[in-house]
Amino acid sequence: MTDLNCLLAGLARLIVPVLLLIFWHKRTGARILPAPAAFLICLPVFTIAGLIRTGFAQGDLLPFCIKQGLLYGIFEEGAKYLALRYLLTSCDSRKDAVTYGIGHGAFEGFSGGLACINLIGTGRAAPDILPVNLFTAIEGEAFAIALTVLIFCGIQTGRTKLMLPIAIFLHFISNATTTLYSFSTPIVVIKSTVITAGVCYAAYRCFAKLRIESGELSIKVIK
């Protein structure tokens, strides 16, 4: 049963982003391109951040959590900003921001899914591996999408100096506290649910306020 749960947990992390992307594309007609672009961009971003992270001393947990949270907050949200602002200039719809967020979350889900599958046959999997990873798959996608929308909104409204630091700070808080309280799954679930719900609400408000003309967002990129 444990091996089956490992398999199902891994498949959940791998499949949820794909299903979400298909649903979003079918529902809104959003372009697919931002998702694979985000996935590929994450590869060097996470690789470099991971190499830097190996230099952090793990003897004192709190400083380690703070440094790790800042590292990934700056790298991940900074990469989103650079990609949406300078690289994917043709992806100028608010729908594209959501699609990019799905792709970003998919990268994290991919690595998490493989980690679950690799536990098959080892006997080292936690009993609650399936529900925890199912929750993580959904919550992780929602969090990645919400922060991406905040950054996109900042770019389009000329408020990047406000929105980007907010996104980095929220990412830092989520990452640092998850690592700090990893010993207690209930605390992590409650914390993640509260933070993600708040960020999603803020992103929804920003998403709704973006000006729409003729059924689509009117884009004027702020120079």
Tens digits of per-residue pLDDT, 131-146? 999 999 999 999 999 9
Tens digits of per-residue pLDDT, 21-67? 999 999 999 999 999 999 999 999 999 999 999 988 777 888 999 99
Consecutive sets of 10 residues in the chain, 223 residues long: mean pLDDT of each?
Answer: 91 96 94 95 96 86 92 97 92 90 95 94 88 93 97 92 96 90 76 93 90 45 39
Task: Give domain limits for the chain.
Answer: 2-211
Distance, in Å, from the CA atom of 220 to the CA atom of 223, rounded to the nearest integer, reads: 9
Query: In this structure, what DSSP letter does residue 87 have?
Result: I
DSSP SS3 for 216: strand
- What's the confidence (pLDDT) of residue 215? 47
- What's the confidence (pLDDT) of residue 220? 43
How does DSSP assign 20-56, residue by residue?
HHHHHHHHH---STHHHHHHHHHHHHHHHHHHHHTTS
The owner of tokens 């992780």 is 140
With beta carbons less than 8 A apart as the criterion, state whether 81 and 101 touch: no
- What's the confidence (pLDDT) of residue 218? 43
Distance, in Å, from the CA atom of 199 to the CA atom of 206, rounded to the nearest integer, reads: 11
- What's the confidence (pLDDT) of residue 184? 62
With beta carbons less than 8 A apart as the criterion, state whether 116 and 53 touch: no
With beta carbons less than 8 A apart as the criterion, state whether 81 and 165 touch: no
DSSP SS3 for 212: strand
Amino acid 19 reads: L
Taking the CA of residue 79 as centre, how many other CA atoms within 13 Å lie in the half-sphere pointing to its CB? 24
Phi, psi of 88 (to 5 degrees): -95, 60
